[in-house]
Structure 1
Amino acid sequence: MDAGSHSISSGKNSAAAVQRPPLQEAGSRPYMPPLSTTSRNPAAKCYGDRFIPDRSAMDMDMAHYLLTETKKDKENAAAIAASPSKEAYRRLLAEKLLNNRTRILAFRNKPPEPENVFAADTVSSHQAKPAKQRRYIPQSAERTLDAPDLVDDYYLNLMDWGSSNVLSIALGDTMYLWDASSGSTSELVTVEEDNGPITSVSWAPDGRHLAIGLNSSDIQLWDTSSNRLLRTLKGVHESRVGSLAWNNNILTTGGMDGRIVNNDVRIRDHAVQTYQGHSQEVCGLKWSGSGQQLASGGNDNLLHIWDVSMASSMPSAGRNQWLHRLEDHMAAVKALAWCPFQSNLLATGGGGSDRCIKFWNTHTGACLNSVDTGSQVCSLLWNKNERELLSSHGFTQNQLTLWKYPSMVKMAELTGHTSRVLFMAQSPDGCTVASAAADETLRFWNVFGTPEVTKPAPKASQSGMFSSSFAHIR
């Protein structure tokens, strides 16, 4: 096949996005007007929690005078009380009341501040803390690349982003490498037509060595720094290898034959363990962050959790028993994502007849939550910096959906692809997501924000371990 027909050209999507407003500050208490005596209904009854006396028989003028009297007024009041003359009382009343239009029971000054030190500290802390702004999520792709001959097959895994910031994507029989730092594209290999097409790809932890699964059932191991084929693993599976996952020096492979095999790339007899639990093609494989548990999903609608401690007690190349066999999904289970902030939390997505994202406690096997997304779930990625989950979908919107975890409220829906979004990969800093769809385009989204801390580059010792291991085997 002509390698030139598989070119990848870059474009720029210039659609603008509107930033969402920040959360509004909580408003202050509503203003309460002072009490007034302008309207009274003596016949009205009170059903509240306050006692309101009947004032119809009260002399309000004298009551106001008694409430506002001073020391001198008290002496005058005593004189008035002793004197039978009402003229003196009326003169004093006119002087004190009619010339002073103060409203009865009205506040002259603001009420004093509360003396409770704890309440004061709470108020000041709330005033000092600014409202947290909602992160700006661009609604359009930052960059779009052409991806001709991308195989439209839900059960394959044709894209991965390595720790050295190089994206690998298989287009038909050819493996391409796109360097995110420089934006340059290179062709790693075009496999023979009898072996192709490429059916899976996965970067080793060192970001230098790449595993490629083929339709012929072979697995190739490449050194991308020198563009050298280091080793070909044969006889591992009976048919195509659609899923790959690394766990340090162990390369785990899943095939259409339903088998899952652990291959130690450091030794000649590489097949060290076999997991058998699927009756159909294994389309999803993911090791947990600790490397202690392996999740596998198959076209038989099954999800298995395998534990290293159980496998280590078995003889080499033996058949190992699963820790959990989970049958809740109603379609193929391809989308798998281990939570970065909770080691025993796994998110899984089902195919077109299922459409659900489910969350599992892998220690107990309990299903914690299930959300119907309304469309085929093709892939899942966790945000490494926030408690968020990104999913990619098929018919009808072909969108990427960002969810807030654990509420599973939709934060954003990213559209642009015109066919189902089969694959997603995450940049090493955790912020940028690449999506590849059956519309033969590769799009980059700044969906996960900006990293708070820059992660160190991978150590060279890991790379040396792989190189020395492969050297004597060849």
Structure 2
Amino acid sequence: MSHLKFENDVNQLLRLDSAFTDGPVPRWQRKAMESSRCSGPSNNTSLNSSCRNMSLNVSGCTPMKTSNRASAKTPSHTPGKAKTPRSGRKSKTPGKSKTPGNNAKTPKTPVADRFIPNRSASNFELGNFKCNADKVHVDEEMLSPSKQQYQEAMSENLNGNVVNSKILAYKNKAPQAPEGYQNNMRVLYSQTKTPSSTRKVTRHIPQVPERILDAPEILDDYYLNLLAWSCNNHLAVALGNSVYLWNAGTGDIQQLMSMSGPEDYVSAVSWIAEGNFLAIGSSNAEVQLWDVAAQKRVRNMTSQSSRVGSLDWNVYILSSGSRAGTIHHHDVRIADHHVATLDGHTQEVCGLKWSPDGRYLASGGNDNLLNIWGYQCTREGNVPLHTLTQHQAAVKALSWCPWQASVLASGGGTADRCIRFWNANTGHCLNTVDTKSQVCSILWSKEYKELISGHGFANNQLTIWKYPTMAKVTELTGHQARVLHMAMSPDGTTVVSAAADETLRLWKCFAVDPQKKPAQKSHPDKKTNTLLRQQIR
């Protein structure tokens, strides 16, 4: 029988759906037993008796502590009551502070570093509405258009303009600080507008030309100067052996002159500052002066021994540079026009520019030299003030800064490809920029602190630079051959470029803001034109 009892015990242990009778009492039964003991007899006597029997059958179980035993334990001190102070010591009542006497000083209220506004005017209902606006919108999509308009009208009448209303509204302004108070954090909490110096102003520069004109038979010669724009808005272009005038205002084109010899050609053109006379240099070493209004030649000045490739005016003094390397000054007011000769180059003079104030004359040649001459050289002396040898190629591109009369920009040819800035007073180089391309011409902007350069091999583009950082603003592309010449309109907004691809392209890259600057007068004074017309012989 013993083995049958053992087998029965094993089977009971292996059954998982029967209750364990030999294990410890579960926690919920112990809780029920404790509660029944504290509360007295319960209606559920069967549950109590079963729990009692199960607790007695558990072997090795530690008896639980009853609540009566736990409540009989007296605590060491009564909570909520203060200790009785000993004799000789002052009692301190917790939670109470000392009352200041008559001699005590009232502390000053410190000045706040920043103003924290009162948020009592905050409309949290509006914030909740805006957070749940998407759900409302989904429900409104199921409505008809008429019902949607009706609900929108009702919402606007009841709640006002919910879209533009603010959730947080600060009605109280910050208090004024005491006199003499300085706050180091004032910049962080100020609500002033952003200063104009920190605003990034950008302007639109068209990447395509405003107009394209044909220039057939324009000579592909780096050392010539075949383009000039007068103050009367007349553009002079030398094409082969002829000079044409294009009126930028009306668009009319007329032929001014043509060379008589079959092998002769025009090598340079230059307008007088007043714009009524045009100087023309030719390959037969002549310098002609033409009256544009009358369309007739005023005089023919012959003093050079070879072709005249560069011309520039200084009031009534016309300077001409030749292939022989000499520079002649012509006084157009007198019969004996040749007044001075400058010998500072050993090869052809391809660049010639007077400074805006008339104090300096810059000349660049094919001998890689850049000379700066003083005004006294028009009367006496043949020694330049500065001879600059930093360029490694021919120096044709020359331009004086319009707002700094003593700053000169010069550009080198294919072997140099650099734009250099000079101080004409000292002869020092201020800055050098490698353009990665042949520099053929340079022009300064009259409105912005920028300059534009025309390039030949190998990019054939126009580049706008920021001065004095020389950061590249933009590049204007479109020419299929090197850009040999550039000229600027009298108002300073448009640049015309002439390239070896026989086209003229007009770029409106320096447009003036009409609110900042009024329109300039493009026509000179009539009295000045009449006086110069009488003086020229």
TM-score grouping bracket, smaller chain normalisation: 0.7 to 0.9
Listed one character per residue, the Cα deviations across residues 347-385 of structure 1 (whole Å, up to 9, x for unaligned) are 000000000000001100000111110010000000111
Give 1 or 2: higher helix fraction: 2
TM-superposition CA deviations, 1:381-439 (whole Å, max 9, x none): 00111110100101222000000111111100000000000000000011100000000
2: CA distance between counterparts of 1:331 and 1:113?
68
User: Which residue in the other structure is 2:249 paired with?
Assistant: 181
**Equivalence for 2:507:** 445
- 1:393 maps to 455
The DSSP-based 3-state class of the residue aligned with 1:320 is coil
Shift of 1:132: 3.9
Residue equivalent to 1:280 = 347
CA distance, structure 2, for counterparts of residue 403 and residue 343 of structure 1: 19
TM-score, normalised by the number of residues in structure 2: 0.65
Separation in 1 of the partners of 2:286 and 2:262? 11
- Distance in 2 (alpha carbons) for counterparts of 1:217 and 1:461: 33
1:118 and 1:384 map into 2 onto residues whose CA distance is: 42
Aligned pairs for 1:298-313 (under 5 A) are 298-309=365-376, 311-312=378-379
**Which residue of structure 2 aligns with residue 348 of structure 1?**
410
Q: Distance in 2 between matches of 1:205 and 1:338?
A: 15
Partner Cα distance (1:347, 1:80) in 2: 92
TM-score, length basis structure 1: 0.73
Aligned CA distance change for structure 1 residues 238 and 194 (closer, same or farther; 3 Å): farther
Q: Aligned equivalents of 1:320 and 1:81: distance in 2?
A: 114
Residue number in structure 2 paired with 1:154 = 222
For residues 301 and 194 of structure 2, the distance between their equivalents in structure 1, rounded to whole angstroms, comes to: 64
Higher RCO (CA-CA < 8 Å; seq separation 6+): 1
- Matching residue of 1:17: none
What letter corresponds to residue 308 of structure 1 in structure 2? Y
CA distance in 1, matches of 2:441, 2:399: 8
C-alpha deviations, 1:105-124, integer Å up to 9, x for none? xx9978x9795578657944
Root mean square deviation of aligned Cα: 2.5
Contact map agreement 1:305 1:323 (CA 8 A) in 2:
yes
- Give the equivalent residue in structure 2 for 1:464: 530
Q: 1:240 to 1:83 in 2, by over 3 A?
A: same
8 A Cα contact 2:271 2:278, kept in partner: yes
Q: 1:290 to 1:81 in 2, by over 3 A?
A: farther
Aligned residue number for residue 133 of structure 1:
201
Q: Which runs of 4+ in 1 moved over 6 A?
A: 107-110
* Distance of 2:374 and 2:262 partners within structure 1: 36
Residue aligned with 1:465, SS:
helix
Aligned length: 366
Residues 1:237 and 2:299 aligned together? no
User: Where does 1:72-471 land on structure 2 (aligned, <5 Å)?
Assistant: 82=82, 116=182, 120=186, 123-127=190-194, 129=196, 131-194=199-262, 196-234=264-302, 236-309=303-376, 311-312=378-379, 314=380, 319-450=381-512, 452-456=517-521, 457-470=523-536
Counterpart Cα distance in 1 of 2:237 and 2:527 = 26
| Cα distance in 2, alignment partners of residues 310 and 126 from structure 1 | 55
Where 1:139 maps in the other structure, the secondary structure is coil
The structure-2 alpha-carbon separation of the partners of 1:188 and 1:148, relative to structure 1 and needing over 3 Å to count, comes to same
Compared with structure 1, are the counterparts of its residues 446 and 279 closer, same or farther at alpha carbon in structure 2 (3 Å cutoff)?
Answer: same
1:225/1:80 CA distance change after superposition, 3 Å: farther
Q: 5+ unaligned residues in a row in structure 1: which ranges? A: 1-78, 85-91, 93-106
Higher strand share: 1
Query: How far apart in 2 are the matches of 1:392 and 1:181?
Result: 25
Shift of 1:340: 0.6
Q: Is the 8 A contact 2:342 2:377 kept in 1?
A: no
Residue aligning to 1:72: none
1:226, CA displacement in angstroms? 1.0
Q: Is the 8 A contact 1:311 1:321 kept in 2?
A: no
Aligned to 1:325, what secondary structure does the other structure show? strand
Deviations 1:24-45 (A, max 9, x none): xxxxxxxxxxxxxxxxxxxxxx
SS of the residue corresponding to residue 225 of structure 2 reads coil
Give the Cα–Cα distance (whole angstroms) in 2 for the partners of residues 120 and 332 of structure 1: 58
- Identical columns (%): 49
